[in-house]
Structure 1
Amino acid sequence: MRLLTLFLLTGLSGLVLASRVEKPSPRAHLVCFQCPYVTRPQDCRLVTSKCHTCKIEQTGNYWKLGCGEHHCNGQECCRTNLCNGRLTCPSGQYPGAEDGTCIPCGHCLGGAACDSDGHCPNGCEPGWHGIGCDQNEGVTATPPANLDCPPGRYGSDCMSFCSGRCYLGSVCDAVTGECPELNGVRCIPGYQGLKCDQPCDAGRYGPNCVNACSKNCYNDTACYSDSGFCPILGAGMPRCKSGWEGSFCQLDCERGRWGQDCTNVCSAQCWDFSPCDVVSGNCELFLGKPRCASGWSGYNCDTPCPRGIYGEDCLYNCSGHCYHGAACDRITGFCPVTHGDPRCASGWRGETCEISCPHDRYGEDCVQVCSSHCREGGLCDGVTGFCPLLPGQPRCEDGWTGAKCDQICSGGESEACVQKCTNHCYSDNACDPNTGVCSPVGSNPRCKAGWFGERCDKPCPPGSHGVDCQQICTGHCYHGAACNPVDETCPQLNGRARCEPGWQGPKCDMHCAPHTFGADCSSLCTGECYNNTPCDTVTGACPSIPGQPRCKAGYHNPYCEQTCITGRYGADCLQVCSGNCINGSTCNREIGHCPIPESGPRCEAGFFGESCEWACNPGTHGEDCNQHCSGHCYQDVSCEPITGRCPAVEGVRKCEAGYHGDKCDIVCEGGTFGENCQQKCGMCSGSSCDPVTGVCPGGCQAGYSPPLCTSTTPRL
């Protein structure tokens, strides 16, 4: 017998040797073996592996060995008189040598004939394996047709690669390339198909892609196909639609929160502290109940009642009778009492100043008593205190005079007190010497500006001015004070302001200039309003414009004077810091970026980005994610982003073959190999085995067989 070496298998780390006995067969008519087309002629060789470096010539559709003067390894390629044809063997045999010998096929399954290379097309009989089904090492079960394919390859020629995505790192079928099912799972998360070579369809994730993504991802984006997490599309972008939170966006907002990722806080002004809508932030509206607490209105109950309005949802009008036109309290409707001033304007009383004075009282808060000398028996006007003047009758009882009948006639006259002409007749015209009536001259009016009546002895009523009191005051005097009846100017009393908030000028008829507000427009806007928008000329608050923030980034409250609290940033301080800045430092209140220290990282372990809002990418870990995983975690999973340790599988931390340690960054040593270095090397010669495969690179000690040197060599 003679030993023949078998083929060198592509992808194996070493040579797999086997022996077989070549049996003689009938001589064929022609000897030369014609090889199928290959890329390089020198790769064409006989089954015996001889003459594989001979010069090759192409004839027709075949390559054949050159003859004549061409040699290899000191031997002739073939006999020159047998180089003009193709060797043909009977069924069940194949060309095996250059001398015209046919060799019987091996133990092909079902007695099938082998091909011209000696390959069995359907696999081997039980107990046999190898390409030619001519190797027997005591195997009792029928091995796969391609038992000699290395892990990760399949197919008849072992040239196809497995997908590498079988569940739990399982090896694909050596014939079909299909991944096996383990407890009903075939593929790793994110892949599907028999070979696990197809990524999940959009909207699916997990092992075998059996899970449906959440429909609450922001902008209807698809979730990650491996984890099912909804993605964050960019810095400052939300993960979830309004009303949802969580990695899968499957949790609805907690009570009191709303919006994308539930980062917004419901208004504290919702009626009876009721919750707001998780999508829009609108305070919930219950049947028969108001939406907002007293003093507030709007869907979000964040708009204070305007001047002159109060109560729940701002549904009620103030009485309009507060002292000097002051606004009522927007919550209770009560008129204010300040600096010892009365609460109500003349003619009114009560907390809301909506009750008119009784007939015998008048003035502010109705605290003054009408004169008892009115001819109508103590009844007077509730605003002015004037006694009523009836047609054809005097105003006062005998002996009294004045609009209020509170002045005693001089000299004790009875009904008609001695009167003098007033000096308020127009152009100083004298009054009638008998009646005291001022007489108009030509087209001129009767009275000077500020006075009216036949005798021009009555000052203009509050709110009117000019000659004969025919004009109405148009300004906005402070606290509703009456304008000067002569020139319409507003009074400035006791050092107080002249004009109501929002107005300026002698007549208080000019709006405040931009960026000023308050009484007489004497105050400057100090808030950080969005886009430098002018503040409200009355209150000084920054305006609330639909569709844009109230305050610049870093500020909040109606006046935009307060900086963001720790953990908040952006316009109106509505954005929440990532919380991942190094050492718990707070983010920039304007843009949310974490501070850059003089030395060291910006972000806590497991996060990176200017705002430290991004979790480490697969393959990285640590502070600022600037450390790389070992790359040797089991099943090629990424390490933990904080510690860099490889994750445990079913409670056990596992590494790829050849490595061990928490981070799987320590190469096997001390004669070990495989996953977690748990296998012992065989009887290697000269050096330890390969830490990944266990193959002995220097061969085996005497008596052991390669490649693992774990079994003894059978004696021939």
Structure 2
Amino acid sequence: MILIIFQCMLFLIRTRAYENLALQRPAWQSHDYHGKETEWGAAKAVDGKYIDRSSGGNQCTISANDEPTATWRVDLGGVVSISVISIYYRTDNSPNPGSFSSRFVGFFLYVSNTTSKDDGHLCFHEIQNVTGTPIENQLISCSVHGRYVIYYNERKPGVNYPSYYSQHAYNELCEVEVYGCHDPKYYGDNCDQLCSEGCLEKTCDAMTGHCLNCLPGYQGLRCDELCTDQKYGQQCSLQCGNCSDGEACNHVNGTCPWGCDEGVDGDECQTPCLPGFHGKNCGQNCSENCKVTNRCNRFTGECDGGCKPGWRIPTCQEVCPRGYFGINCQDSCTLYCGRNGSCDRITGICDDGCMEDWSGPLCGTAPKISDWSHWTGCSATCGGNGVRHRFRTCTGVCTHIALNQSGNCGVQQCPIDGSWGAWGGYSSCDKSCGGGWKLRFRKCNRRSPSHGGQPCYGDSMQATGCAMIHCPIDGGWSTWSDFGQCSETCGQGVQIKSRTCSNPRPRYGGRGCVGPNNASKSCQRGECPVNGNWGSWGHFHPCDMSCGGGLQLRLRECNDPPPSHGGLPCPGQSVHAVPCNTDQCPDQMNATLSSNDLFG
């Protein structure tokens, strides 16, 4: 039955016009059988002949005896698109299961772009535990691109294999057929349909046309669907940043076409605002009236540490309203300020002075009044309208201050102790998961305590457990790592720190962490050397001689800029001289004339 299924599947593959890409291609095996290199060589497995699957038919590859490993491979001539690989193992023309399945069992089948199996994709490997398996005809589905098909088996010393495995490893392959499309950019029954434009490197499965990998920004079997759910990039695996108003980012590169939401900046809206900025695209300055100047919440603009005196929280852009002053406008003007009750919004000093009998900068100095004395004894012990008195003294202006008080006493009734009413029904569970409580209550109202009577004894509430299932656990950020090294050796640079969504990891359907996993800050590595540079030449000074040849000088200074922090001084000279008044002086000319007279 298995053989019939194999033959039907193979017939279907061949009728679809898939090419046997391995036929007559160069082949190699690790251990030729000595003296039978031609009759049983590696090429026999791709010569298209396997009617006689015995050693005497010379149509099969047979490797040397007594080897711990056996490797055979075929070179397909270039990278091709493979769909299925069929293997016909040696049977000596006996019905399945034959006597050679113990040598075939446990084999590995790889497809690689190099001659090493370790660089390749494992298409098939099973540890069979039933004698007579696997069958000698294998049809293995392996949708992959590659150049080399590699068969490998092993019987290594010290490894405990099942009892019916052969003692040594063999290649006894009568035929290996590789079906697919020669050009990995095509697929279909006749390999005449182009793979989707969204496929990475325009390559796809030879049979279905499904992309093996997608270009960045695409998803789906044929990579013809854009990334969704705020994802972008390769395999739609990257999370969009905080684009403006929750808009999706570019599905390929993650940039935000309409700018950033509050608190972030950058093309991908994943860079937190620098200190001193807040709002969308970090486009707003923090208030100068913040208690810590120009430092505020990057999302809301709320000042760090509140406001300077006289300014109103949260953004410190508004002055204190009338009647309030001080830090965050949290102090009220005194009730005893003058006519309009207003005061200076910074100091609290009353604008119009103090009300009568009050003094001090904040009008807070009042007349000095003693505490009330103890009450006198009651004129009646109970059941009547007794009276008691107390007194106090006043120093200063006390025109409107009462110094005597009287009160009723002795009118209390006898104490009545409380008694519980009936229990109410249980409330709904306070949680939908993770273990909660539902409650019921009773009141001390069957007879309420009064006149100093005792309260009801016992609990007014009963609780019972409910919703004993796991709750989703949202992801939480780990603590930030230490900042890394400064990006510059001198001057202003940047240090970066990171964190991971592992404290805790999201579980039971919980949400992932929100926010960036990297943060940066500026760093200063000392001033950079500044080389000196000459300033402009000054004007020429007057000539130092009126005749007979003199010099005119002009100067310049090394100050544009001057050398600093170990920088080089200015090259060249600071003084420039040119000749001037080169005519002979008059006394020199007279001397010349006299000489001519004498000798002329």
TM-score (norm 2): 0.29
> Higher strand proportion, which one?
2
Q: Which structure is higher in RCO with an 8 Å CA cutoff and minimum separation 6?
A: 2
TM-score (norm 1): 0.25
